[in-house]
Amino acid sequence: MTAFSPLSIGPYVVQPPVVLAPMAGITNAPFRTLCREFSGGKGLFVSEMITTRALVERNEKTMQLIRFDATEQPRSIQLYGVDPVTVGKAVRMIVDEDLADHIDLNFGCPVPKVTRKGGGSALPYKRPLLRAILNEAVTNAGDLPVTMKMRKGIDDDHITYLDAGRIAVEEGVTAIALHGRTAAQHYGGTADWDAIARLKEHVPEIPVLGNGDIWSADDAVRMMRETGCDGVVVGRGCLGRPWLFADLVAGLEGTGGYRTPGLREVADVMVRHATLLGEWIGDESRGVIDFRKHVAWYLKGFSVGSEMRKRLAVTSSLDELRAQLSELDLDQPWPVGADGPRGRTSGNNRVVLPDGWLKDPYDCAGVSEDAELDTSGG
């Protein structure tokens, strides 16, 4: 029995309505492939964010990051930009060169080096600038759907999501994802799901996707029911746990039956993940080195020992990875409590903004293009 209606993102039907959150350094093609294998091809899988300036300048690393697996359909790319003209050019390039099928715009990055320049989650405070960026994106996108992802605002005194939602509707954005935190919260505290419900009421014209603190399929179902949102976006819960996508599909389709893989199965997924990364990068060793950042997430809660964790953190070939994993007690069952929060969880930072930023939401002078450089995260 299907529990929830499908989500429409322009011409694309997402059934059940579940989306992999863009995560810089994580949701590259190999990770999306893994999650999609577990979901049986259901759901939508968004790329890590790509800065528009780097794309327009055809930065070599960026051009590698935007490569999709041949089986990905639709190809969802997330863009981050602060300059309307550059965003427009990047979108036009994607359309002209058939680089993706769906464009998501990131206005949620809380990293100080970005907000200090007026970018990321600081940007929606400047309403005209947000409008100009959305306008350029939608105009240049032609038939491609454009969605946006944002936070609630800068801090509790500078909430922007309702205004931003209205602007998005007026500019022809197809759907909005809301992470129920302010920039000041970073990843601390709990996500405010009431804000998701309020946005849903505020912009009934387009789908609203809820994001923040979905750690299990039951959380996803609860968010759908409690907020009335049209779909869920899941990030950190998938770190070292791509099979969560199987659970999310089962939960939202109402079929139940969740996964609790033992260490043997987890180790197989780890090797597969590292293998996919190597194939994607075109270098096995670099793939295994990139995989190191995932090791602690995969092994969370299992009895592994600090010595072995250290050795796994410096592995540089698939044979070495397999050999080390085979030394573990692979008969361990899924650890109790390993379904809880993982990844970044700290917060309550002061948001660093350009001088005078909050004086006037309509004065858009002074957003620096440097806000795009070396950016990562949301």
Binding-site member from 118, 124, 207, 377 for ligand FMN (CB under 6 A):
377
Binding-site member from 84, 108, 207, 287 for ligand FMN (CB under 6 A):
108
Binding-site member from 17, 30, 74, 235 for ligand FMN (CB under 6 A):
235
Contact 353, 155 (CB under 8 A): no
Beta carbon of residue 360, minimum distance to ligand FMN (angstroms, whole number): 26
Separation of alpha carbons 353 and 224, rounded Å:
34
Binding-site member from 112, 172, 261, 343 for ligand FMN (CB under 6 A):
343
In a 3-state reduction of DSSP, which class is residue 152? strand
Phi, psi of 78, rounded to the nearest 5 degrees: -100, 130
Contact 48, 25 (CB under 8 A): yes
Phi, psi of 210, rounded to the nearest 5 degrees: -95, 140
Q: Which CB atom, from 25 or from 333, has the smaller least distance to ligand FMN?
A: 25
Which residues participate in catalysis according to the annotation?
109
Contact 84, 372 (CB under 8 A): no
Beta carbon of residue 204, minimum distance to ligand FMN (angstroms, whole number): 23
Beta carbon of residue 216, minimum distance to ligand FMN (angstroms, whole number): 11
- Name the token pair of 89: 């050019």
Show the binding pattern over residues 142-161: x = contacts ligand FMN (CB under 6 A), - = does not: -------x------------
Binding-site member from 106, 115, 121, 160 for ligand FMN (CB under 6 A):
106
Residues 176-195 that bind ligand FMN (CB under 6 A): 179
Q: Which CB atom, from 179 or from 263, has the smaller least distance to ligand FMN?
A: 179
In a 3-state reduction of DSSP, which class is residue 181? strand
Show the binding pattern over residues 109-148: x = contacts ligand FMN (CB under 6 A), - = does not: ----------------------------------------
CA dihedral 233, 237, 239, 241 (to 10 degrees): -110
Stretch that binds ligand FMN, among 208-216, 217-225, 332-340, 357-365 (CB under 6 A): 208-216
> Could you tell me which of 13, 5, 48 has the C-alpha nearest to residue 145?
13
Half-sphere exposure (Cβ direction) of 263: Cα atoms closer than 13 Å: 21
Told to check if 236 binds ligand FMN by CB under 6 A, we report yes
Instruction: Please count the other Cβ atoms lying within 10 Å of the Cβ belonging to residue 350.
Output: 9
Residues 250-279 that bind ligand FMN (CB under 6 A): none
Half-sphere exposure (Cβ direction) of 91: Cα atoms closer than 13 Å: 28
Contact 152, 202 (CB under 8 A): no
Separation of alpha carbons 191 and 193, rounded Å:
6
Residues 278-337 that bind ligand FMN (CB under 6 A): none
In a 3-state reduction of DSSP, which class is residue 61? helix
Beta carbon of residue 27, minimum distance to ligand FMN (angstroms, whole number): 8
Kindly list the residues in this chain that would bind ligand FMN in the complex (CB under 6 A). Answer: 21-24, 26, 48-49, 78, 106, 108, 149, 179, 211-214, 234-237, 343-344, 377-378
